Homo-oligomer: A and B are copies of this chain.
Amino acid sequence: MQKFITKKVREMEVEDAVEGFFLLKNPSPKTTQNGKSLLSFKLADASGEIECVFWDYEGNLHETCNGKPAKIRGTVSEYNGKKQINVQQIRAAKEGDPVDLNSLVPAAPIDPKQAYTQMIDLIDTIQDPEYKNVCLEMLSRNREMICSMPAAKAVHHAFRYGLLMHTYFMMCHADHMARYYPFVDRDLLLTGTFCHDLAKAKEYTLSPVGMVTDYSVPGYLLGHLYMGASDIGNVCREIGVSEEKSLLLQHMLLSHHGKPEFGAAVPPKTAEAMLLSMIDDLDAKMETVREALEGQPNGMTESVWALGYKLYNHD
Interface residues of A (CB under 8 A from B): 169, 172-173, 176-177, 180-181, 183-185, 215, 217-218, 220-223, 225-226, 229-230, 233, 244, 247-248, 250-251, 254, 260-261, 263, 265-267, 269-271, 274-275, 278-279, 281-282, 285-286, 289-290, 293-294, 299-300, 307, 309-312, 314-315
Is the pair B221, A250 in contact by a Cβ cutoff of 8 Å? yes
Report the Cα distance A300→B251, complex, angstroms: 14
**Other 11 A-B pairs with CB < 8 A, given A185-B314, A230-B233:** A180-B286, A183-B290, A183-B293, A184-B286, A218-B247, A221-B248, A244-B314, A267-B307, A275-B282, A278-B278, A278-B285
Residues of chain B with a CB closer than 8 A to A274's CB = 285-286, 289
Min CB distance A51 to B, Å, is: 19
Contact of A269 among B269, B281, B285, B311 (CB under 8 A): B311
Is the pair A223, B261 in contact by a Cβ cutoff of 8 Å? no
Specify which of A169, A222, A244 lies most central, judged by the most chain B CB atoms within 10 Å of its CB.
Answer: A222
Contact of A300 among B220, B279, B299 (CB under 8 A): B220
Is the pair A265, B267 in contact by a Cβ cutoff of 8 Å? no
Contact of A270 among B225, B260, B285, B314 (CB under 8 A): B314
Oligomeric state, in copies: 6
Residues of chain B with a CB closer than 8 A to A266's CB = 221-223, 226
Report the Cα distance A260→B247, complex, angstroms: 22
Is the pair A226, B254 in contact by a Cβ cutoff of 8 Å? yes
Is the pair B251, A222 in contact by a Cβ cutoff of 8 Å? yes
